[in-house]
Structure formats: C-alpha cells, structure tokens
Copies of this chain bind each other. A is one copy, B any other.
Amino acid sequence: MRVTVRDVAHLVGGTVIGDDQKLLTGISSLTEANPGDISFLANPKYESYLKETKATAVLVATAQENVPLIQIVVPNPDFAFARVVASFGPKAVPPPPGIHATAVIGENVRIGANPAIGPYAVICENVVIGDNAVIYPHVYIGHESIIGNDCTCYPQVSVRERSQLGNRVILHSGVVIGSDGFGYASVEGVHHKIPQVGIVVIEDDVEIGANSCLDRARFGKTRIGKGTKIDNLVQIAHNVETGHHCIIVAQVGVAGSTKLGNYVTLAGQAGISGHLTIGDHAIITGKAGVSKSIPARLVVRGSPAQEIKSAQAQEVAVRRLPATQATVKDLLARVAELERRLSAITPLEKTTEKNT
C-alpha cells in the first residue's frame, strides 16, 4: 500500500494531528509496527504502547499528548482501522473472472453477473447463483440450491441440495451445509435412518468458519438469522434456528431443534442441548453445558450451566471445600467434647428423654 495520512483520514472521517502528507506503506498492531505503518489504539490500557511503537500514524479515539506519532482521531478506532485494512490492506485473490473451463455446471443453472468460479467447482442442476459470486476450487453446490448476491465459497465447501443462502454470505474452507441431521428410529435394536428432507436457510451477511457443519432439517428448515457469525468447527444440528446477529464461537455444538434469539453469544466449546430456547442477548460462556432454556439477557456459566454469579460463588466455595471439611471434622470433635463435658454435669437420662 502507498497512501497518505490524509487519504486514510478521508476514508474514516477522522481529524489529523500532525503531517497529513506523510506516506503510509503498511498496516500493523502497535507492538509489531515498522516505520511507515498505520496502527490503532482501541483499548486505553495499551496507551503506553504509543510511546514505544515504531508506527508512523495511529487511529485514536481521543487525542493523546506527548506522543511522537501522527494521530487520526475517530470515534471508533477499531472499526475505522478495519475499514482502512479493507481498503488498503492485502486481499485474498479470488479465482480469475469468469467460469473456469473445468468447472462442471449442471443443466438449467443460472449464474448472475461477474462470477469468479474456479477450477473443478461442481454446480448441480437447477442451482441459482446471484451476482458477483466467488466460488473457489473444489466447491460443490448441490441441485436446486439458491445462492444470493456477493457470496464467497472458499475451497472444498460442500453445499448440499436445496440449501438457500442470502446475500453476502461467506463460507470458509471445508464448511458443510445441509448434511443429513442425526436421526434414527430404533426398532428391535436396529437404528433405522429417519430421512432428513428439510433444508438449510442462511440469511444475509452470515459468515461461517472453516469445517463447521450445519445439518439440514428433518423437515422444515434449519435457519441461521441474518448477520450471525459462526466460527470454525461448530456443529449446528437439524432444525436449529438462530436469530439475528448471534455470535457462535469455535467448537460450539447446538443440538436439534434448539432456538436462539437475537444477539445471543455462544462462547467457545459451549454445548446446548436440544429443544431449548435461548433468549435474546443471552451469553453462554465458554465450555458451558446448557440443558435448560435460558431467558433473555442471562449470562450463564458451568456445566450444568447456571446464572454466572451463582456459578462463580459455587466455584469459590468448592475451592474452599477441603478447608470447610477440615473445619467440620474439627467441629465434630469439639461438639462431641462439649456433649461429654455437659453430660458430666447434667444427668444423661434427661437428655435422652428429650431426644425421643
């Protein structure tokens, strides 16, 4: 990249403190920056880095005193920096424009304007793909699937038949959409496969991380709400539905038919049982195991998951438990001694009477 400080400030609507003609040639964090780089300060606790960084310019929320860098003041430096990187940073190189000669396109496939479809992609009959599709090599799109505009499928993505993707959906390498849900009817010791004839619907602006799996519904729809972001190696079972703008971190599993509200956060390695409802803005912390429905805005922790303050109080209590048990043992001895001493004073018969 070769842009001026002024170019960056113009892009993000920021105010420059310092030389706005200075040339910027790279992008980095404060700690890793070299001269020529632009960086950002999102968290005030890293303010001291401004004195040591080799960066040439920095995006800040409020002007800093006594720092030798050029500053660009913007309300949200984190977001502004993301825009700078998107505009001036290195980019993935999609397959060349057009449809590669080796791509296998089935009958009656409709593809919108400006496709970039790579070698060995396989797109089955009756698929509809919107404009500006980026389909990397070895992607499979099953028959009758519908892909919106501006979608990206990285290598080795598998979209099974009749799936429906909205606009601006990103599927990372190895993602599987529409695999059969896990359902069997067990009759006399044999598990008979229950056909999974539903579909998967992925709404606009969803991004799904590498090797994550979203099973098709038994019937009806497995649905991922618009703006929801899913990390790597996540399991979404059949008939799960998420609301809008959920965050689902790596290695989470959500069992069948569970419904998430809007803005739900599932942190890494959490597991949610089937047929539950997770309310809007609820937060399931990392590794939590949820086996009951969770009301809106509740934060839960542990397995089985509980409201976070209770869970933490119990964790503290358990850490003290060996000491508590020693105390109880001591109390037992002291009480026995008290009983002995008291019995030496008061007649035992009387006490016995009282207890019966």
A residues adjacent to B (C-beta < 8 A): 27-29, 32, 76, 78-79, 81-82, 85-86, 89-93, 102, 104, 118-120, 122, 124-125, 136-138, 140, 142-143, 154-156, 158, 160-162, 170, 172-174, 176, 179-180, 182, 184-185, 187, 189-195, 197, 205, 207, 209-211, 213, 215, 218-220, 227, 229, 231-233, 235, 237, 245, 247, 249-251, 253, 255, 263, 268-269, 271, 273, 286-287, 289, 291, 303-304, 306, 310, 313-315, 317-322, 324-325, 327-328, 331-332, 334-335, 337-342, 344-346, 351, 354-355
In contact, B235 and A251 (Cβ under 8 angstroms): yes
A157, B335: Cα distance in complex, Å? 69
- A318, closest chain B residue (CB): B314
- A157, closest chain B residue (CB): B156
Which of the residues B179, B250, B263 comes within 8 Å of A172, measured between beta carbons?
Answer: B179
Shortest beta-carbon distance, A33 to chain B, in Å?
Answer: 10
In contact, B227 and A182 (Cβ under 8 angstroms): no
In contact, A158 and B161 (Cβ under 8 angstroms): no
- A205 contacts across to B, CB distance below 8 A: 190
In contact, A85 and B158 (Cβ under 8 angstroms): no
- A304 contacts across to B, CB distance below 8 A: 315
Pull 30 A–B residue pairs with CB atoms less than 8 Å apart, ordered by A.
Answer: A28-B219, A81-B194, A82-B194, A85-B197, A89-B219, A91-B197, A92-B142, A102-B102, A104-B119, A137-B140, A138-B138, A156-B158, A170-B180, A174-B174, A174-B213, A176-B232, A182-B229, A190-B205, A209-B213, A213-B233, A233-B235, A233-B253, A249-B255, A251-B253, A306-B319, A310-B319, A314-B322, A337-B355, A338-B342, A344-B346
